[in-house]
Amino acid sequence: MMTKAVVVDCGGKTADPMWEIERQKLLPWFFGKGVDIGCGARKIKDDVLGVDIDKKVKPDVVASGDKLPFDSGVFDFVCGIHSFEHFADADLVLCEWLRVLRPGGFIGIVHPDITFTKKQKGPADNPVLKNNLYYKHYHEYDLKSFLSFLKKRVSLGFDIVDFGPACPNWSFYVILKKR
């Protein structure tokens, strides 16, 4: 028996229900001018700037999230839904996201939880990755190990203000506030 996929209407855009659950965890923190890093073909909010390195998804700005073409301190929030794990240098991307954020602004990260998603297979065993290397996961965490990673870096000038499961049995979220 085939079942029909459930879709959710997000302000005129169709999104999968899991993404909508993850999105709802971040939205309460996001006001003002924002940027969605690694947005793909959708953005967390219509009025944010979408950034992606893959020009095929038609982002507002084609750029890598670890080399953003913006002045320092220009955004009230930075969003990264399933994008942080796609950067080879996690420290560099964290510093870059903090650089473009104003003091008091928020970074919201949704990350796959390796407890449930398991380790990503390489291109030889993963047809999706073979067709698009932008999908590669350089870092895979569960919530506890990601919080440990972040706590070792609070000297960069941020506080961890919220975290928890995003989509149950799939992902977690973390909210950082720039000092």
- Boundaries of every domain in the chain: 30-178
Match domain 30-178 to its CATH number in 3.40.50.2300, 1.10.760.10, 3.40.50.2000, 3.40.50.150. 3.40.50.150
User: Per-residue DSSP letters for 25-67?
Assistant: HHGGG--SSEEEET-TT--SSTTSEEEES-GGG--SEE--TTS
42-71 confidence digits (pLDDT tens): 999 999 999 999 999 999 999 999 999 999
What's the residue count for the chain?
179
**Predicted local distance difference test score (pLDDT) of residue 131:** 61
Q: What pTM value is reported for the model?
A: 0.86
108-126 confidence digits (pLDDT tens): 999 999 998 866 566 656 5
